């Protein structure tokens, strides 16, 4: 946890960042007023899902606004019963003892002894238990502030004003379908930040994403994010979430950002494979980057009405995800043989690897028989996926298992017949590809594409 000193109307963080108390309270009061909250009624913000990004998001809000207890309540829900294994407990103990501020905090809370016992194997810790002390199971090396944790979903959400979806895309539908039952008697619906539809009007759904790594954001590394959705809520929420080190922009294009946000995870897996298979060769990685970005630009022109508005943010998000992220890590581990596909796409200590389901979803989306583009050499109509050799190869490795080795990604890059990536970009820029019907499919078809940061 980043240490802070309070005094003279300011909070001074250990990295030198300063937040003014009155400025924070003013932002909180503005949002409360917009939501019509009475003076005696606190603003209730609930995080649903406690992966890395979901936990960091709740912790950032708690750090910023938790001091105003009468005006705002911040809590986070996660499922109970997830045990912390012995090796993780040992590592957690090392992290605690390496941080004097964390060590002192646990001693003051009379919570240190249980970590000693877990280190010795005399006690089992649980993920919801350590989250209350500020430790996310998917991000042990980055201690957070203590959080109010609720393990009963109905208790967590039934009276929430703002719900932050931090669930993996594969779990969002199931959990929010249950949540919708608890909201049937509500007069007003809450604001949803992220991707959960769950019967809530579209004007109340917002998506937050951007080029960032959760642990680095909490450690006050400068980051940008973008909140998309209806203007009524996105502009005041962008202001509410904004911090000196975490700049939040706003944009109206919810669907495009929601769906296209999954693209970076697709290609991050391949980037990890290439890095591992070539011993971090800068040349090989640059060749991969050229081809993967050209495919992303091509797909963006196919799915986005105004792709030029998305290109910069999409490439920025891709850059950081290829550099450092769980999907790139997953690709590396597969290529090194330290993970196998049979282990699934939910990995202990990392959480859900969204890129796996996104590979399948984009492949199927771009393989539809109703779609076609003109092949530049064969001069005949083909499905768009035929012009995306990296996406095709990743599908054959991860989903259909037609390719038994990650080496296939290198073979695809080194194909003598592979077109210059510039040609794919030219095709995209000189043809009107936008197919609005693609993004108008039933939500079930798109759920695995949609991204939640965890």
Catalytically annotated residues: 264
SS3 for the chain, per residue? Answer: CCCEEEECCEEEECCCCEEEHHHHHHHHHHHHHHCCCCCCCCEEEEEECCCHHHHHHHHHHHHHHCCCCCCEEEEEECCCCCECCHHHHHHHHHHHHHCHHHHHHHHHCCCHHHHHHHHCCCCCCEHHHHHHCCCCCCCCCCCCCCCCEECCHHHHHCCCCEEEECCCHHHHHHHHHHHHHHCCCCCCCCEEECCCCCCCCHHHEEEEECCCCHHHHHCCCCEEEEEEECHHHHHHHHHHHCECCEEEEEECCHHHHHHHCCHHHHHHHHHHHHHHHCCCCHHHHHHHHHHHHHHHHHHHHHHCCCCHHHHHHHHHHHHHHHHCCHHHHHHHHHHHCCCCHHHCCEECCCEECHHHHHHHHHHHHCCCCCCCEECCCCCCEECHHHHCHHHHHHHHHHCCCCCCCCHHHHHHHCCCCCCCHHHHHHHHHHCCCCCHHHHHCCHHHHCCCCCCCC
**Rounded alpha-carbon distances, angstroms, from residue 302 to 267, 268, 387, 451:** 17, 20, 12, 19
- Identify the CA nearest to 133 among candidates 153, 113, 156: 113
Tokens of 199: 């019967």
**Long-range contacts from 180-185, C-beta under 8 angstroms, 24+ separation:** 182/153, 182/154, 182/157, 182/158, 183/157, 183/158
């Amino acid at each position: 946890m980043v240490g802070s000193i309070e005094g003279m109307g300011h909070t001074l963080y250990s990295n030198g960042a300063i937040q003014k108390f009155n400025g924070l309270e003013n932002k909180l009061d503005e949002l409360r007023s917009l939501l019509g909250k009475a003076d005696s009624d606190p603003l209730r913000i609930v995080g649903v899902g406690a992966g890395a990004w979901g936990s960091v998001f709740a912790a950032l809000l708690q750090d910023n606004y938790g001091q105003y207890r009468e005006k705002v309540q911040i809590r986070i829900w996660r499922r109970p019963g997830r045990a912390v294994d012995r090796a993780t407990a040992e590592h957690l103990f090392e992290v605690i003892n390496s941080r004097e501020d964390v060590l002192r905090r646990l001693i003051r809370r009379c919570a240190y002894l249980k970590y000693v016992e877990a280190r010795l194997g005399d006690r089992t810790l649980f993920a919801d238990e350590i989250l209350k002390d500020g430790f996310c199971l998917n991000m042990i090396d980055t201690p957070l502030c203590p959080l109010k944790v609720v393990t009963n979903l109905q208790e967590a959400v039934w009276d929430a004003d703002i719900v932050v979806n931090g669930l993996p895309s594969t779990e969002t539908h199931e959990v929010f379908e249950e949540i919708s039952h608890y909201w049937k008697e509500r007069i007003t619906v809450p604001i949803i930040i992220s991707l959960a539809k769950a019967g809530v009007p579209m004007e109340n759904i917002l998506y937050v994403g951007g080029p960032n790594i959760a642990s680095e954001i909490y450690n006050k590394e400068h980051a940008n994010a973008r909140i998309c959705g209806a203007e009524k809520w996105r502009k005041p929420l962008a202001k509410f979430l904004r911090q000196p080190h975490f700049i939040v922009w706003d944009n109206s294009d919810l669907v495009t950002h929601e769906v296209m946000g999954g693209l970076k995870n697709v290609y991050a897996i391949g980037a990890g494979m290439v890095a591992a298979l070539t011993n971090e060769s800068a040349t090989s990685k640059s060749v991969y980057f050229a081809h993967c970005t050209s495919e992303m630009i091509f797909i963006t022109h196919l799915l986005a009405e105004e792709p030029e508005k998305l290109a910069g943010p999409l490439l920025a998000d891709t850059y950081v995800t290829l550099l450092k992220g769980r999907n790139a890590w997953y690709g590396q581990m597969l290529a090194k043989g330290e993970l196998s596909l049979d282990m699934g796409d939910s990995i202990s200590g990392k959480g859900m690897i969204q890129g796996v389901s996104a590979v399948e979803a984009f492949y199927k989306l771009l393989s539809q028989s109703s779609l076609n583009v003109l092949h530049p050499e064969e001069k005949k109509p083909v499905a768009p996926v035929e012009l995306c050799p990296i996406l095709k190869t990743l599908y054959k490795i991860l989903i259909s298992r037609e390719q038994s080795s990650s080496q296939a990604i290198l073979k695809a890059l080194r194909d003598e017949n592979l077109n210059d990536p510039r040609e794919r970009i030219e095709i995209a820029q000189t043809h009107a590809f936008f197919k609005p019907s693609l993004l108008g499919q039933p939500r079930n078809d798109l759920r695995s594409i949609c991204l939640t940061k965890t």
